Amino acid sequence: MATNTREAHGDLVLENVTKEFADFTAVDDLSLVVPRGSFFALLGPSGCGKTTTLRMVAGLEQPTHGKVLIGQTDITGTRPHERPVNTVFQSYALFPHLTIRENVAFGPKRRKAADAVRLADDALELVQLSHLAGRKPVQLSGGQQQRVALARAVVNQPEVLLLDEPLGALDLKLRRQMQVELKRIQSEVGLTFIHVTHDQEEAMTMADTVAVMNRGRIEQMGPPERLYDLPQTAFVANFVGQSNLGVGRIHGTDGDFIVAEVSDTKVRIPKQRSEIHDGEVMFGVRPEKVRIHESQPVATGNDVKATVIDVSFTGVATQYLVTVPSGASWTVYEQNLDVEPISLRPGDDVWLSWDPTHAFGVPVDEDGRKAALAEDGA
């Protein structure tokens, strides 16, 4: 049985997986296929069920319902050591009483690999830590420990490698560096990586596919660009980047667009960019897609009067926080292309415009309604 499941081979498949703890449902009827060899990110706020999902794949938790498969092999109910799955833990969980080499050789030795030590040394070379092989974990910096944890998992050539917020404890600069390195290592070893994170930028820069999780369910899944360009729920619109949102009612169509009214302003959304085609819709547009004008622009057909609340100059761009007629706050990024950027001050009246092909429409839900009203640009 043990060797059997350990030899499993193929895509990772979750079928209707549910995990209930005593008082709440952490993961709710989740189905998912992660193609073999891909870099997959599970993105979501803390408590969304992403770590529980990971632990069920590792075998550290068992699902209440549903199945976990690798290829054709059902590994539900098997124990962690019976699965071809390895984890890079958030706190690294390096064995403090073993040297770095012994830590990395731990897995190969348990699988009775004849050349465990050589495998470990190769893995350490991959993460560029060969020179520290004789040290103990406490003698290493956080970034080095992180790489040891990675080597300790990679050395086993698992079918699926799980990374639980592996960069969470590193400082920003090191984190960027490790993102690049993780990506390099993944393409070098060609293993399936599942990366759990709450950092949308991390997920977007590294993964081929990102699944956004919220309240135990996957809200949307796809390549990062697509998630950003066309969010399908209000939650995704706000969790992956920022969005300016407004609740509106659909009035009709205009060619390839549907027309909705948001607080007495008519806005247009491309038909294929809206999830909703009649009734209430949540209208959205990304902050960098919005232009800001000191006087009403001519013939854009999509403009809104607003009042500046706050201006912050960030160098490359200037970020404006404005109030729109619905009462919501919107954010606008204006690139500083001119030598003398427009000098707007809080309290000034301005007009906002955007290309209607950039707008998107998502269903109105409680998350979105709240976001639309309390949107503070943060």
Residues in contact with other proteins by CB under 8 A are 6, 21, 55, 58-62, 79-81, 85-87, 89, 91, 93-97, 106-107, 110-111, 135-136, 138-140, 152, 156
Shortest Cβ 39–other proteins spacing (Å): 20
- CB contact at 8 A, 203 and 168: no
CA dihedral 233, 209, 176, 234 (to 10 degrees): 0
Shortest Cβ 7–other proteins spacing (Å): 13
- Pick the closer one to other proteins by CB: 105 or 290: 105
- Pick the closer one to other proteins by CB: 47 or 363: 47
Shortest Cβ 191–other proteins spacing (Å): 15
Shortest Cβ 211–other proteins spacing (Å): 22
Nearest Cα to 98, choosing from 67, 134, 44, 74? 134
Nearest Cα to 246, choosing from 285, 272, 301? 285
Shortest Cβ 182–other proteins spacing (Å): 18
- Pick the closer one to other proteins by CB: 14 or 258: 14
- Pick the closer one to other proteins by CB: 149 or 267: 149
Shortest Cβ 90–other proteins spacing (Å): 8
- Pick the closer one to other proteins by CB: 104 or 207: 104
Q: Is the dihedral of CA 361, 366, 367, 368 positive or negative?
A: positive
Q: What tokens appear for 297 in the block?
A: 């622009």
- CB contact at 8 A, 42 and 17: no
Shortest Cβ 198–other proteins spacing (Å): 19
Shortest Cβ 107–other proteins spacing (Å): 4
- Helices 142-154, 100-110: axis angle to 10 degrees equals 20
- Pick the closer one to other proteins by CB: 95 or 313: 95
Nearest Cα to 124, choosing from 103, 142, 139? 103
In whole angstroms, what is the distance from residue 181 CA to residue 188 CA?
10
In whole angstroms, what is the distance from residue 250 CA to residue 362 CA?
12
- Pick the closer one to other proteins by CB: 49 or 107: 107
- Pick the closer one to other proteins by CB: 60 or 189: 60
Sheet containing strand 303-313, edge to edge, reads 290-293, 349-354, 303-313, 317-323, 329-335
Element (H, E) at 105: helix 100-110
In whole angstroms, what is the distance from residue 15 CA to residue 160 CA?
17
Q: Which 8-state DSSP code applies to residue 236? A: H
